[in-house]
């Protein structure tokens, strides 16, 4: 998702996509977007992320079911924000 920068997109499907490195498993999601983006010369509309705030948002079963049953989410953007503790994180906002 970092490669699409702050471009607006519409999410049409959400599924689990955990990332394994060695013996450690990190929770992740794969999203499908209505739009296609040129990434290194290829048109892509499926993106993987392990960004904690985004994964947490998509753990919401009602939101996931709504999107996966034909009610797209968006347009949204993925932006960097700061928490109250000053730590940076990525979040989805309305575009």
Chain segment 50-90, per-residue pLDDT in tens: 888 889 999 999 999 999 999 999 999 988 888 888 888 88
pLDDT over 70, % of the chain:
100
Q: Which is more confidently placed, 1 or 49?
A: 49
User: Do residues 45 and 32 lie in contact, with contact meaning Cβ atoms separated by under 8 Å?
Assistant: yes
Q: Which domain holds residue 83?
A: 2-94
Number of domains in the chain: 1
8 Å CB contact between 28 and 50: yes
pLDDT of res. 52: 86
Sequence-distant (≥ 6) Cβ neighbours of residue 55 within 8 angstroms: 27, 28, 29, 49
CB of 22 closer than 8 Å to CB of 58: no
């Amino acid at each position: 998702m970092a490669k699409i920068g702050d471009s607006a997109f519409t999410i049409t499907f959400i599924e689990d996509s955990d990332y394994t490195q060695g013996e450690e498993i990190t929770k992740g999601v794969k999203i499908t977007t209505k739009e296609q983006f040129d990434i290194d010369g290829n048109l892509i509309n499926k993106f993987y992320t392990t960004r904690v705030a985004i994964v947490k948002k998509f753990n919401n079963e009602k939101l996931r079911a709504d999107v996966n049953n034909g009610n797209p989410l968006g347009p949204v953007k993925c932006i960097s924000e700061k928490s109250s503790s000053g730590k940076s994180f990525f979040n989805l906002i309305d575009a």
